[in-house]
């Protein structure tokens, strides 16, 4: 029985922290105590501190050095991760990190090895995996009535962001590859296993800034099973996946961003027809933080998450590299 509370700090005042993650931490007050929020902007830190009844810290170094903080939630842009995650790991802080975990596979390898050495829990923030609809889908595709997996297709894309959004800045770790692409890619590995590897990809980049804006990729296990993913900024909104089996097909219509008051709708099709499966509302941010809490307290579970981070990073880098090869050939 766990009888202590994980003292946590938030490294950065991102919108997702204010809107979703900090409220989830507050809901889990028996598991987490929010100690402080840090920002390089004193006004932002103070606003968060007043709103969420915690301490304001200006700058990230002081937060990392605090001995009264066990863990950090890090919603900083990906391009800032390597510096601050390295320092946090060296200080012994457990880390729940917004996607994408690192800008390159080399950085991910270094950080994961460092975390293993310092016995630190790492978790990449793909919260959608902890929504009950994914458990329902997994149970369906593992049933004999679904048959063998044949193909996965997932898409996550949305209309233009504000022009000053950091995700349009590749230097900060922006671009669609480090953002929207990660969701359907992570779903591929979750549902289909790690045997699928990236075989081809294509990415459109802003001709002036060079920032990746939209694209697609294909993965295969070399034995006939494949997966296709599409992702994009400046696109028609899509947030879905469909999984084809030898006997049936399941589709999730709001796969990655089902809010805490949203009732999910799955469509199951087979030879007898189709039926809708309604899934009760769920807060996947709460579910993800419960998983993070378990990693802190059960060290033997950390290796699985280390491997997930590395597989995701490896696949993203392969998509990037293959798309460049195609661009050169064209």
Burial of 121 by CB count in 10 Å (0-12 exposed, 13-18 middle, 19+ buried)? buried
Does the residue 311 lie in any domain?
no
Same domain, 116 and 151: no
- For the chain, give the percent of residues with pLDDT over 70: 97
Tokens 């596979």 belong to residue: 105
The whole-number average pLDDT for the span 113-142 is 98
State the burial class of residue 3 (Cβ atoms within 10 Å of its Cβ: 0-12, 13-18, 19+): exposed
The beta strand positions in the chain, using DSSP E, are 6-11, 32-39, 55-58, 71-74, 94-97, 122-124, 149-157, 197-205, 212-220, 226-232, 238-245, 248-252, 264-270, 273-279
pLDDT value for 274: 98
Give the pLDDT band (50/70/90) at residue 102: very high
Instruction: Give which of 250, 194, 254, 247 is closest to 219, Cα–Cα.
Output: 194
Q: Please say which residue of 93, 125, 157 terminates a domain.
A: 125
User: In the chain, what percentage of residues exceed pLDDT 90?
Assistant: 93
Nearest to 124 by CA among 208, 185, 170, 63: 185
Q: How many domains does the chain have?
A: 2
Say whether both 32 and 117 belong to one domain. Answer: yes
In terms of domains, do 137 and 230 share one?
Answer: yes
CATH number at residue 117: 3.40.50.720
The answer to whether residue 297 sits within a structural domain is no
Is the per-residue pLDDT at 84 higher than 60?
yes
CATH number of the domain enclosing 229: 3.30.360.10
Is residue 306 a part of any domain in this protein?
Answer: no
Task: Say if residue 148 is in the same domain as residue 184.
Answer: yes
pLDDT digits (tens, 9 = 90+) for 223-263: 999 999 999 999 999 999 999 999 999 999 999 999 999 99
Q: What is the CA radius of gyration of the chain?
A: 20
Residue 305 lies in a domain: no
Residue among 64, 15, 14, 1 nearest 36 (CA): 64
Tell me, what's the pLDDT at 171? 83
Do residues 225 and 237 share a domain?
yes
Shared domain for 70 and 142, answered yes or no, is no
pLDDT value at position 173? 86
Q: Are 83 and 145 in a shared domain?
A: no
Mean pLDDT, the chain, integer:
95
- Which tens digit of pLDDT belongs to each residue from 202-212? 999 999 888 99
- Confidence at residue 1, expressed as pLDDT on a 0 to 100 scale: 37
Could you tell me if 108 and 11 lie in one domain?
yes
Is there a domain that residue 199 lies in?
A: yes
Residue 294 lies in a domain: no
The reply to whether 300 falls in a domain is no
282-295 pLDDT, tens digit each: 999 999 999 999 99
Indicate whether 321 belongs to any domain: yes
Final residue in a domain of this structure, among 84, 102, 125:
125
Q: Domain range holding 259?
A: 128-286+316-329
pLDDT (mean) for 159-166 = 91
CA dist., res. 29 & res. 306, Å (int):
27
CA nearest neighbour of 262 among 271, 253, 270: 253
Domain boundary among 82, 98, 125: 125
With vertex at residue 312, the alpha carbon angle to CA 308 and CA 314, rounded to the nearest 5 degrees, is: 115
Residue 87 annotated as catalytic: no
| 254 and 132 within one domain | yes
Residue 96 and residue 140 share a domain:
no
| Per-residue model confidence (pLDDT) at position 16 | 96
Q: Where is pLDDT greater, at 329 or 134?
A: 134
Average pLDDT over residues 261-280: 97
Confidence grade of residue 324 (pLDDT, cut at 50, 70, 90): confident
Q: Which of 99, 311, 318, 320 is catalytic?
A: 99
Q: For position 327, what pLDDT does the model report?
A: 55
How many degrees, rounded to 5, is the angle at CA 139 between CA 134 and CA 140? 95
* pLDDT higher than threshold 70 for residue 328: no
Q: Is the pLDDT of residue 325 over 90?
A: no
């Amino acid at each position: 029985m766990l009888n202590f509370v994980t003292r946590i700090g938030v490294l950065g005042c991102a919108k997702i922290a204010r809107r979703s993650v900090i409220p989830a931490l507050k809901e889990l007050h028996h598991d987490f105590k929010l100690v402080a929020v840090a920002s390089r902007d004193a006004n932002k830190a103070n606003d968060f501190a007043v709103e969420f009844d915690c301490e304001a810290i200006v700058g990230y170094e002081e937060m990392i050095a605090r001995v009264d903080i066990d863990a950090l939630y890090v919603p900083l842009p990906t391009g800032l991760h390597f510096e601050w995650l390295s320092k946090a790991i060296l200080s012994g802080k457990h880390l729940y990190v917004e996607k994408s975990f690192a800008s390159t596979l080399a950085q991910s390898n270094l950080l994961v090895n460092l975390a293993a050495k310092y016995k630190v829990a790492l978790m990449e923030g793909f919260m959608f995996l902890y929504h009950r609809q994914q458990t329902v889908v997994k149970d369906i595709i593992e049933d004999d009535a679904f048959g063998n997996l044949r193909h996965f297709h997932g898409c996550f894309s949305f209309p233009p962001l504000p022009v000053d959004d950091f995700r349009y800045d590749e230097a900060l770790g922006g671009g669609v590859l480090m953002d929207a692409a990660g969701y359907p890619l992570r779903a591929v590995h979750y549902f289909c296993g790690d045997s699928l590897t990236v075989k081809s990809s294509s990415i459109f980049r802003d001709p002036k800034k060079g920032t990746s804006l939209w694209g697609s990729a294909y993965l295969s296990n070399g034995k006939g099973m494949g997966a296709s993913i599409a992702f994009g900024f400046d696109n028609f909104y899509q947030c879905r996946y469909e999984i084809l089996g030898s006997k049936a097909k399941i589709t999730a219509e709001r796969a990655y961003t089902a809010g805490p008051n949203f009732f999910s709708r799955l469509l199951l099709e087979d030879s007898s027809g189709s039926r809708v499966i309604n899934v009760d509302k769920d807060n996947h941010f709460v579910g993800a933080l419960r998983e993070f809490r378990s990693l802190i307290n059960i060290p033997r579970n950390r290796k699985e998450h280390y491997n997930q981070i590395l597989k995701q990073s490896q696949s993203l880098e392969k998509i990037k590299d293959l798309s460049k090869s195609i661009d050169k050939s064209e």
